[in-house]
Amino acid sequence: MVYTGTDRRKHPRINARFVVSYRVLEDTEKQHQSQTKNFSLGGMLLTTNRKFEPGTNFALEMRLPFDDRPITIVAKVLESHEVTKDLIYDTRLQFLTVDDRHVETMKQTVDYYVKKG
């Protein structure tokens, strides 16, 4: 289904694949690897291996093209739905905290992909 309503996003969203390590914030043991489906300054759509409840907080670590240092982000699950039964889930995240140094890297990345079209 394609959404045809008004786009209410504050930030441009790019369709880009970046490798992400993620874990539930409170779980310091289990870390998973995945990739983004899309990305913006406010959040991302991430492929996960299970469904997560809205409000679940994640610790994320990712690398972007304009900085060789990993970016650490705390994000909140807005929605998670099944794509492939018991295997793949699309999980929509809203960023809660990103340090100022990495916000600039994120802006450069989004701007680059927006201009690239």
- For residue range 38-80, list pLDDT tens digits in order: 999 999 999 999 999 999 999 999 999 888 889 999 999 999 9
pLDDT computed for residue 101 by the predictor: 83
Is residue 22 over pLDDT 80? yes
Beta-strand pair 32-39/43-48: antiparallel
Asked whether the predicted pLDDT for residue 10 surpasses 80, the reply is no
- The SS3 call for residue 110 is helix
Are 15 and 38 spatial neighbours (Cβ–Cβ below 8 Å)?
yes
Superfamily for domain range 19-116: predicted glycosyltransferase like domains (2.40.10.220)
The mean pLDDT of 77-101, rounded to a whole number, is: 94
Backbone angles phi, psi at 37, to 5 degrees: -100, -35
pLDDT at position 21 over 60: yes
- The Cα 67–Cα 89 span in angstroms is 28
Res 5 pLDDT > 50: no
What pLDDT sits at residue 65?
A: 87
How is residue 66 written in tokens? 């304009």
